[in-house]
Homo-oligomer: A and B are copies of this chain.
Amino acid sequence: MLDEKTRYAADAGAQTLRTVGTPCLILDQDRMDRNVARLRERMERLGVQLRPHLKTAKSVDAARRVMTAPAGPATVSTLKEAEQFARAGVTDLTYAVGISPDKIDRVLALRASGVDLSVTLDTVEQARAVAEASRRAGDRIPALIEIDCDGHRSGVLPGDRALLVDIAQALEDGGSLRGVLTHAGASYGAIGDDAIRAAAEGERAAVVQAATLLREAGFDCPVVSAGSTPTAHFAETLDGVTEMRAGVFVFFDLVMAGIGVCAIDDIAVSVLATVIGHQPEKGWILVDAGWMAMSRDRGTAKQAVDQGYGLVCDVNGQPMDDLILSEANQEHGIITLRPGSTASLPDLPIGTRLRILPNHACATGAQHDSYHVVSGQGDRIEAVWPRFGGW
């Protein structure tokens, strides 16, 4: 890794959008900073702590721009993320995916190294495993009970008092109930301001209801954690919520633009690609960014405007009339006009560079080992930030 990083650092200064090898992932840091400032101000106004989800960025350099302080708080989706960010000095972390018993030893090791890492669970079985491991280690692992606010994924129903109390009791027998946590995953399908506002209020009400039931049953429930990028941007009140988690807001993407959470020109990541061929009679331009560079994510397929595998921009990041990456093989992308377009296919000679905005920043980011950082209209790669994957 060090060799790669050194090479990156040495190369970055000399490279531009016209010279860097393609395909590669470009990050517009002005847009990123603006996106971060926007949500941070909103959370300050609503009096709620922002606990950004670092699963989108998976980069220490990016995380430092996203967190409100170098030590956190932050959220992670894997223990690998927790370990990487802990090594970089982040000490306040929530692992927001249901814990399995075999992962508890890694949690304990991180906690022993000084990280206040909390886990997430929604069954008595998990609570017992956490409590038992806590007793064995002499370290009360803090846990959040996951609440199902919209039928989207995991979690206890917010009004299921009996199960909430059973889990809390099992947990307190060695571990520690830190609070409740929910995620309005269904908000990604909520189109328009009113629908997202309703999802936000449903998320808030559910997690507060669960916290209230636990407190009435005599449990401390200091943390009431909610959040998704759409609901964090549209919640009108967050009464009773102590922290909001959001991840993709840092970069945004076409799915978020499609539901109205951001504008196209808020999208901070794109894939730089080079034209490698033409099939003029079919109306195709071929580029060297296929699904390996874009991911297989087709999140806009269900939206009003299907952006294919991505929206095509010129090298400066300006969207081009009706051009989308409509098909993708592993290393070939096929650019066409959008179905029904009356525009004409531009003449883009072999070697032309383009930037393609992704459906889903988390998925596209995961296909790359670094961000090539630019500023606004600048051509120069100002930095190369390594990113990591794995578990």
Using a CB–CB cutoff of 8 Å, the interface residues on chain A facing chain B are 1, 3, 19, 21-24, 55, 77-78, 97-103, 106, 122-123, 125-126, 129, 148, 151, 153-154, 185, 274-279, 282, 286, 288, 291-293, 295-298, 329-332, 334, 349-351, 360, 362-363, 366-369, 389-391
Chain B residues with CB under 8 A of A78: 331
Q: Are A351 and B100 in contact (CB under 8 A)?
A: yes
- Which of B55, B126, B291 interacts with A330 by CB under 8 Å? B55
Chain B residues with CB under 8 A of A77: 292, 330-331
Instruction: Please list 27 pairs of residues, one from A and one from B, whose beta carbons are closer than 8 Å in the complex, sorted by A's number.
Output: A21-B103, A21-B391, A22-B391, A55-B330, A97-B332, A98-B276, A98-B332, A99-B276, A100-B288, A102-B351, A123-B278, A126-B276, A126-B277, A126-B350, A129-B351, A153-B332, A291-B297, A292-B366, A295-B295, A296-B296, A296-B297, A296-B298, A296-B363, A330-B362, A366-B367, A367-B389, A369-B389
- Closest Cβ of chain B to A51, distance in Å, is 17
A278–B163 alpha-carbon span in the complex (Å): 13
A384–B165 alpha-carbon span in the complex (Å): 43
Q: Are A351 and B286 in contact (CB under 8 A)?
A: no
Integer count of this chain's copies in the complex: 2
Chain B residues with CB under 8 A of A298: 296, 298
A151–B55 alpha-carbon span in the complex (Å): 39
Q: Are A23 and B102 in contact (CB under 8 A)?
A: no
Chain B residues with CB under 8 A of A151: 282
- Closest Cβ of chain B to A296, distance in Å, is 4
Chain B residues with CB under 8 A of A369: 389-390
- Closest Cβ of chain B to A334, distance in Å, is 7
Known: A100-B288, A122-B277, A295-B296. A390 touches B368 (CB 8 A): yes
8 further A-B pairs in the complex, CB-CB below 8 A; given A78-B331, A129-B351: A19-B102, A77-B330, A101-B350, A101-B351, A126-B350, A291-B363, A295-B295, A369-B390
